[in-house]
Amino acid sequence: MAESALSTVLENLVINPMIQETSFLRGVPEQVAEMKRELRRLQSFLKDADTKWRNGDARVKNWVRDLRDVAYDAENVLEMANYMTRRNNMKRGFRGALTRYAHKSSDSKQLHDVGVKIEKINRRLSNIFDSTSKFDIAKIDEIEIGENSSKDETLRARRLFSPDSDDNVDVIGFDSYRDQIVEQLVDPDNQLLTVISIVGMGGLGKSTLARKVYDSSQVKQHFDVVAWVAVSQTYEVSYLLQEIIKQTTKKNIEEIDKREEEMRKTLGEFLKEKRFLIVFDDVWETTTWNQLQNPISVFVEANKGSRVILTTRIFEVARHVNQKIKIHELTLLDSEKSWELLRSKAFPSYQDVSESTKNELEGLGMELAEKCEGLPLALVVLGGYLSKNLEYHKWSKLVGKMDWEVLDHENNARRILALSYHDLPDYYLKSCFLYIASFPEDYEIPVTTLSQLWIAEGFVPHRRGEELEETARRVLDELVQRCLVQVTERSIAHGWIDSIRIHDVLRNWAIEEGGNDGFVKVCSSHTDVESMNSDAMPACRVTLHSFFDDKLGGVVPNLRTLLAFKLGEIKSAPCLGGLRFLRVLHLEGLRGIKIHNEIKRMIHLRYLGFRDCWNIELPSSMWRHLLNLQTLDASGTIIRCLSSSFWDIPTLRNVYLGNVAVFIPPKPNQQRSLHTLCIEESPSFTYGCSDRIAMFRRCGLVGEYNWEGTIESLMVGMTTLVSLTLIADKIPSEVFFKFPNLHEQTLFGQLTDQRRLSNVNLLPQNLKELCLVACKLEEDPMPILEKLPSLVVLQLRYNAYIGRSMCCSSHGFPRLQNLTVWGLRSIEEWKVEVRSMPRLTRLGLTLCPKLRMVPEEGLQHLTSLQELHLSRMDSLSMDSIKKLKENGCKVIVVPNESANEE
């Protein structure tokens, strides 16, 4: 992993535009050029160094450590020069910058320091190169370059494509378990609370089986409310309760009283009259169930047929429950099922493999399946590896190597994972995979966030004619195809992956691999942080789970990345002193914290995250210093003030704002290159407060601003936006016309001046996904929206339209695939004409109490419809959907008492 840990840094140093930006500095150009040449040579040595290191050569390990340190120092000094240039240009323009620099003593001193540091770095690089002969590392002319490299790169580019296969994880061999569990869940004769335990070793498919059952339409229809909670080895009861409340009551995190006793009371009162299903995934201790007993005792009294599913590796945990229990102990797959699972991954449906190739490899494949000894995780990962190596000699060679009978099943899976990992063709793929291990166990990772982190780290390569975000998704597709990560959600509008999860066995292996070479260190205690002092290869990235260590800056002064999760128990502001070289800072779950001025010194920051934080006070002047910032993620967070200087950051690309008490929008000449913008003004109907001011007063803030005017200011000239989310009490209708390049748009709030909406030609023609919530449209929106040529997903929610009738005309919505109509309480009639919505596959109707019928002939026109979901639609005539069932459409009806309001 020396290659993956270091090549990214070197690549950035060699090709990054910052080098060109510093070329005007007096006395520096020649030094920079020399450094570039040396770094190119270093990059060529890395693969050979990595091999020798893994073969146990400690001297090479020390060499690699020194190389990484000097490479990071080089990047820091070049970025400082670039920062000086950017700061000066922002003040007075580029022309004449050199002359003006010369007349400022402070800038002259900084320029002198840059030059001195570059000279020191070049001397260190020379010493490192001189030492390579001692270690017999390959000479540069022995590295394959030229035509072969070009062909290899083309092959790699072809590999990165988005699979169109079904991402649902397999339950091959567990079909009977699935059927039995579903039957036990929906059994009408059993009205007692019943706990269903799924037991088995790591990698056997417990969570996969539970997820299949949980997502089943039969199960979802049967229960009033459902929740899935990942427990894992380290957990907090308060966090588990909070998650159950969020998922069952649909409350926002700001609405939940975080005191444990109050959460138990809230949960018990809400669920006592409900039929619920709660999944506790990956439970390790019997005490977990004991700690949750208080609310469970309330559930028992209801006797409405509620169920709990519990997955665990430990049989004692499974049978510890003192309620009625059903235990399903999973076993290893037999030879037939093993080959069936391996074959499904080795020859996936999205990959065109000839029958002759399949036949040639089948015998070897069966032998390899036998070597996995029936462990599904090993079979799945091996299948992903084989799908990328469909050659007889490779399969045959692997059969001879796989002699692991002396190892246990989990170690077999780890050996196969190592095989698949080292087969990744590029350093950036390896870096991206190891980075996923930074997230907590069983964490559902949003791909948008992951991609932005990868880009901030410099892992995503530049490809001609392709945005970095698109390349990042292709990298993720490659990891999915190799079965190194699990897909948990996929976008209907775009077809790409929205969220992923990594199996804990794979995550543990990645943590170990990443720790060995200093790529990442995952810490669960202060002892873990202190241990880095003695590490042979100190980590350049650190993840903290459920705690913060204020001494981190002293232990790892050259730290590049700090991710910290579940920080809700921290009572004071985390100390960030000594961390001035951070590129990524992500703090999740802080409460009522004032961030000190030390953050101003972090001029290298690309990514800054304050997610799900409450009442965060940031230094108002900090934005003038963060001139490299690409992403600010403050979703679910209240920030006291966002100053005007924030919009001056030239590299800013993605902005997610929760609630800002003092919000100063950009001026016409400020930020105009945003890709993603999300602003939540938090209307009163979202939080159940009497008004917006009441919400701010809860955390000692008062904000009274003209938000409609603020939004209008945001719209001036911001034409590069691809994704826009606005949540406000009132939103000007002009927002529809100001962003021509939008692909995704969510508007949550009343639209003003609705007469302007009739101008269809000004709507964004590339819009694929549109969600309208509480917009209170008075005129039928369908005649306008149906003319959007690219629209794939449309959601109309909570009084988005307050009229009585809707009409979808012939040839309207040419590409629409998913339509959700939820909470339109005034609508009485919906007309669907012939040849309307020709591609619609899923239709959801919920809580439209006055909609008595959809014309039967209208629904029959929806010839592509595959799923119809009806919830709280008791007034709807069932005669209109009988023929849909006959034509093979899946119709899911949730009766009035079984639906929960969102």
Q: Which of 189-193, 219-223, 254-258 comes out lowest in average pLDDT?
A: 254-258
Quick one: tokens of 297?
A: 């005792």
Name the nearest CA neighbour of 239 among 34, 450, 5, 546: 546
Q: Which of 260-269, 460-469, 830-839, 857-866 comes out lowest in average pLDDT?
A: 857-866
Quick one: tokens of 96?
A: 């004449």
Average pLDDT over residues 710-739: 83
Element housing 545 (H / E):
strand 541-545
The domain at 768-902 falls in which architecture?
Alpha-Beta Horseshoe (3.80)
Q: Which of 51-65, 583-597, 626-640 comes out lowest in average pLDDT?
A: 51-65
**More confident position, 902 or 705:** 705
Alpha-carbon gap, residue 409 to 402, rounded angstroms: 13
Average pLDDT of the residues of the chain: 79
Name the nearest CA neighbour of 619 among 611, 608, 628, 630: 608
Can you give the pTM of this predicted structure?
0.85
335-422 has which CATH code?
1.10.8
Q: Which residues contact 55 (CB under 8 A, 6 or more apart)?
A: none
Average pLDDT over residues 190-216: 89
The band of 779, judged by pLDDT with boundaries at 50, 70 and 90, is very high
Counting beta carbons within 10 angstroms of the beta carbon of residue 85, is it exposed (0 to 12), middle (13 to 18) or buried (19 or more)?
A: buried
Quick one: tokens of 36?
A: 């570039």
Quick one: tokens of 757?
A: 């909406």
| pLDDT of 663 strictly over 90 | no
**What's residue 32's pLDDT?**
58
**Which percentage of the chain shows pLDDT scores above 90?**
30
The band of 496, judged by pLDDT with boundaries at 50, 70 and 90, is confident
Average pLDDT over residues 276-301: 76
Q: Which residues contact 28 (CB under 8 A, 6 or more apart)?
A: 22, 81, 111, 114, 115, 118
Alpha-carbon gap, residue 428 to 7, rounded angstroms: 8
Q: DSSP labels for 296-315?
A: HHHHHHH-S--EEEEEES-H
The band of 346, judged by pLDDT with boundaries at 50, 70 and 90, is very high
Counting beta carbons within 10 angstroms of the beta carbon of residue 394, is it exposed (0 to 12), middle (13 to 18) or buried (19 or more)?
A: middle
**DSSP letter assigned to residue 853:** B
228: which strand partners?
279
The domain at 427-505 falls in which architecture?
Orthogonal Bundle (1.10)
Average pLDDT over residues 831-840: 90
**What's residue 466's pLDDT?**
87
Alpha-carbon gap, residue 478 to 483, rounded angstroms: 9
335-422 against 768-902: fold identical: no
The domain at 175-329 falls in which architecture?
3-Layer(aba) Sandwich (3.40)
310: which strand partners?
197, 280
The pLDDT tens digits of the residues spanning 849-895 come to 888 766 656 676 787 888 888 887 766 666 667 777 777 788 877 76
Q: Which of 39-48, 209-218, 813-822 comes out lowest in average pLDDT?
A: 39-48
CA angle 102, 106, 111 (to 5 degrees): 60
The pLDDT tens digits of the residues spanning 684-695 come to 333 333 444 454
The pLDDT tens digits of the residues spanning 403-458 come to 655 445 667 778 888 889 988 888 889 999 999 999 998 889 999 999 999 999 99
Counting beta carbons within 10 angstroms of the beta carbon of residue 495, is it exposed (0 to 12), middle (13 to 18) or buried (19 or more)?
A: exposed
**What's residue 876's pLDDT?**
66
CA angle 519, 525, 531 (to 5 degrees): 55
Q: Which residues contact 842 (CB under 8 A, 6 or more apart)?
A: 492, 817, 818, 819, 865, 866, 867, 868, 869
The pLDDT tens digits of the residues spanning 75-111 come to 787 777 777 777 777 665 444 444 444 445 556 677 7
From the CB of residue 875, how many other CB atoms can be counted at a distance below 10 Å? 13
**More confident position, 839 or 77:** 839
Say how far residue 636 (Cα) sits from the centre of its chain: 15
**More confident position, 199 or 145:** 199
Are residues 358 and 386 in contact, defined by beta-carbon separation less than 8 angstroms? no
Name the nearest CA neighbour of 318 among 278, 280, 264: 280
What separation in angstroms does the CA of 414 have from each of 95, 156, 171, 507, 541? Answer: 57, 25, 21, 10, 23
**More confident position, 281 or 617:** 281
| pLDDT of 629 strictly over 60 | yes
Amino acid at 835: R
Alpha-carbon gap, residue 714 to 711, rounded angstroms: 5
Label the pairing between strands 584-588 and 607-611.
Answer: parallel
The domain segmentation of the chain, as residue ranges, is 2-143, 175-329, 335-422, 427-505, 517-645, 675-767, 768-902
Quick one: tokens of 289?
A: 């169930």
Alpha-carbon gap, residue 675 to 826, rounded angstroms: 36
Q: Which of 326-330, 547-551, 736-740, 896-900 comes out lowest in average pLDDT?
A: 896-900
Amino acid at 220: K
Alpha-carbon gap, residue 835 to 475, rounded angstroms: 39
Amino acid at 871: S
Sheet holding 225-230, edge to edge: 225-230, 276-283, 307-312, 194-199, 324-329
Are residues 19 and 32 in contact, defined by beta-carbon separation less than 8 angstroms? yes
b/e per residue 517-540 (b: at least 16 CB within 10 A): bbbbbbbeeeebbeebeeeebbbb
Alpha-carbon gap, residue 668 to 691, rounded angstroms: 31
Say how far residue 650 (Cα) sits from the centre of its chain: 25
**More confident position, 741 or 640:** 741
Amino acid at 520: V
The band of 227, judged by pLDDT with boundaries at 50, 70 and 90, is very high
Quick one: tokens of 800?
A: 């988005």
The pLDDT tens digits of the residues spanning 292-344 come to 766 555 555 656 888 999 999 988 888 887 677 889 999 899 999 999 999 99
Quick one: tokens of 747?
A: 């508007």
CA angle 526, 595, 530 (to 5 degrees): 15
Counting beta carbons within 10 angstroms of the beta carbon of residue 302, is it exposed (0 to 12), middle (13 to 18) or buried (19 or more)?
A: middle
The band of 805, judged by pLDDT with boundaries at 50, 70 and 90, is very high
The band of 499, judged by pLDDT with boundaries at 50, 70 and 90, is very high
- Winning range, highest mean pLDDT, from 588-592, 631-635, 672-676: 631-635
CATH topology of domain 517-645: 3.80.10
Name the nearest CA neighbour of 580 among 76, 88, 119: 76
**More confident position, 27 or 715:** 715
254-258 contacts at long range (C-beta below 8 A, 24 or more positions apart): 254/614, 254/636, 254/638, 254/687, 254/695, 255/687, 255/688, 258/568
Quick one: tokens of 833?
A: 């004409």
